[in-house]
């Protein structure tokens, strides 16, 4: 059974966006800068799982795409070296979705194309 393709539109008064913490989507140049910066990102992660998790959560809450990219870089590197706990694996997945979703909107490209580009710069 095929479900109908539906989309949802969320409408927020423009005058309230700052108050509720919504910022505009980054422009395509900034999106490219974030992707190009990822290979050079060096992240020092705390050895204590709880502190590391809280630090990464704060980075993701910041709304700064470069901070989200730091979470992705750090957790990807840790996964390659030692593996991730279930909580950190979920956080990595969420961080990737946040970054990819914004880049899709900014660059007007497909999710798959942006995901492939991210995987390439992480390799």
| Of the candidates 33, 77, 35, the residue with the CA atom closest to the CA atom of residue 56 | 77
The average pLDDT across 41-60 equals 90
**Closest among 123, 76, 91, 113 to 105, alpha carbons compared:** 113
At 4, the pLDDT band (50, 70, 90 cuts) reads low
Axis-axis angle for helices 28-37, 86-107 (nearest 10) = 140
Instruction: Give the pLDDT of residue 87.
Output: 92
């Amino acid at each position: 059974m095929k479900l109908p393709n539906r989309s949802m539109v969320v409408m927020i008064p423009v005058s309230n966006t700052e108050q509720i913490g919504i910022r505009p989507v980054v422009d395509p140049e900034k999106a490219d800068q974030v992707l190009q910066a990822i290979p050079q990102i060096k992240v020092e992660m705390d050895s204590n799982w709880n502190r590391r998790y809280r630090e990464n959560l704060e980075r993701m809450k910041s709304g700064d795409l470069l901070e989200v990219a730091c979470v992705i870089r750090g957790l990807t590197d840790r996964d390659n070296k030692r593996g991730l706990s279930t909580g950190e694996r979920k956080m990595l997945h969420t961080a990737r979705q946040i970054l990819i979703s914004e880049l899709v909107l900014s660059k007007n490209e497909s999710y798959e194309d942006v995901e492939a580009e991210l995987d390439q710069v992480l390799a």
